Amino acid sequence: MKAPVAYRRERLDRGIKVRSDDIFALAGWPEILYLAGPRVAAAGFLLVFPLLRNWTGDYWQTVFLVAVSMMLAAVSWAFLENVGLVSLGHSLFFGAGGYLTAIAVLDLGLPPLLAVLLGTVGAAAGCAVLLAPVLRLRGVYFSLVTFALPLLFARVIEATKVLGGTEGLAGIPGLGSLEVRQYLLVVGLLSATFGLQRLLDSDYGLVLHAIRDNDLSVRASGIPVGWWKFGAVLVGVLPAALAGAVLATHYHVVGMSAFALDYSVLPLTAAVLGGSGAMAGAAVGAALLVPFSELLRAFGTLRVVAYCAVLVLVLVSVPEGLFSVVRRRYHQFERWVPL
């Protein structure tokens, strides 16, 4: 009788990966293309798509705008997750960006572009200050606070009728044309994705990873953990706040819906779908999820159910995220070898 042969999966780095990764040798175009190709292709798509308005029609251009906004929110979520701050209330950052922009335009009379920048930076600073007292909380306790805050803001606005109450703040002038808004978001997205990834890969990113691992040892190493977390929130909120700010000028109105659960669940789902280990993974997740959710438009608020279904499916089947799987296939080949 023949014993059953057991197999294991073997993963080997592709030759080109080995050459361009460990030896730092750029021998020619194949290597350069291999390394830069995916990035350039993705960035190129984002930069070219707004120019195809005649061909795609306005509807898909608006979907593109929303998708890029959610990609920003997802990148923001993934960055904070990498620092050990799991946010369940990203709509807080999103809504803060929107409301502050509205105030800057309507009450301070600033031009829209300036208002968007001020709204973005102001929201990041405001949220960082707001969260500063709870940054020392670890794990699920921090998440619970972030979960409660947007709900709290929405109820306060509803009950006290500040900031336009349930009506919201309307009459926000548009920021240039659709293309201007799209390119502002795309530039923001590209700098956030590559900038934050670079930050995470640097020694500073190492310290941030270490804080997630074990903050006592980081303190014993002479690094003020509180300030570092504060800085991480400040930087990490920026992309989400920018998305909220630009979308406010796009819709000409910002209301309590900016604090809605959708904007908290979507970045989280996107980051899990794409894989939150890499900033680009979160962005890819959102780029897949938003068009998908457009197809479910008829179901209204039931879309949150779809997000949750995607979340559960991905967590069970590809817990590392789609982007991580694709990236691994790009760098390595697999084969089954007998044990």
Partner 1 sequence: MVDRLGKQFGGVRALDGVSLEVRPGEAVGIIGPNGSGKTTLVNLITGFVRPDSGRVVFRGVDITRTSVEARVRMGIARSFQTPRPFYRLPAFRNVIIPLCSRRARERLGSGFGRREEVALDLLEEVGFERDAAAVTKPASELPHGYLKRLELARCLALDPQLLLLDELFSGMSPAETASLIPLLLRLVEEGRSLVLVEHRLAELFQVVGRVVVLDFGRKIAEGHPADVMAREEVRRAYLGGEVSASA
Residue span 75-104 as binding mask against partner 1, x where in contact by CB under 8 A, dash where not = ------------------------------
User: Which CB, 166 or 221, lies closer to partner 1?
Assistant: 221
Instruction: Report in angstroms the alpha-carbon separations of 189 from 121, 217, 270, 293, 320.
Output: 15, 34, 15, 20, 22
User: Which CB, 177 or 217, lies closer to partner 1?
Assistant: 217
User: Which CB, 188 or 277, lies closer to partner 1?
Assistant: 277
CB of 225 to partner 1, least distance (A): 8
**Tokens 């909120």, residue?**
237
Q: Beta 332-338 vs 7-13: how paired, if at all? A: antiparallel
User: Which CB, 18 or 313, lies closer to partner 1?
Assistant: 18
Of 125, 151, 210, 306, which lies in the binding site for partner 1, with binding defined by CB under 8 A?
Answer: 210
CB of 207 to partner 1, least distance (A): 5
DSSP 223-262: --HHHHHHHHHHHHHHHHHHHHHHHHHHHTEE-GGGGSTH
Neighbours of 111 (CB within 10 A): 11
Of 166, 177, 191, 217, which lies in the binding site for partner 1, with binding defined by CB under 8 A?
Answer: 217
Stretch that binds partner 1, among 187-195, 217-225, 267-275, 328-336 (CB under 8 A): 217-225
User: Which CB, 48 or 220, lies closer to partner 1?
Assistant: 220
Binding of residue 4 to partner 1 (CB under 8 A): no
Instruction: Return d(Cα 265, Cα 124) in angstroms, integer.
Output: 19
User: Which CB, 177 or 221, lies closer to partner 1?
Assistant: 221
Q: Which residues have C-beta within 8 Å of that of residue 128, sequence separation ≥ 6?
A: 230, 233, 234, 237
Stretch that binds partner 1, among 121-129, 156-164, 209-217, 321-329 (CB under 8 A): 209-217
DSSP state of 22: T
Instruction: Return d(Cα 132, Cα 135) in angstroms, integer.
Output: 5
Q: Which residues have C-beta within 8 Å of that of residue 230, sequence separation ≥ 6?
A: 128, 132, 135
Number of residues that bind partner 1 (CB under 8 A): 17
Binders of partner 1 among 220-259, rule CB under 8 A?
A: 220-224
Residue 185 near residue 94, CB atoms below 8 Å:
no
Of 71, 218, 245, 254, which lies in the binding site for partner 1, with binding defined by CB under 8 A?
Answer: 218
DSSP state of 114: H
Residue span 188-207 as binding mask against partner 1, x where in contact by CB under 8 A, dash where not = ---------------xx-xx
DSSP H helix total and E strand total for the chain: 15, 4
User: Which CB, 197 or 264, lies closer to partner 1?
Assistant: 197
Contacting positions for partner 1 (CB under 8 A): 203-204, 206-207, 209-210, 213-214, 216-224
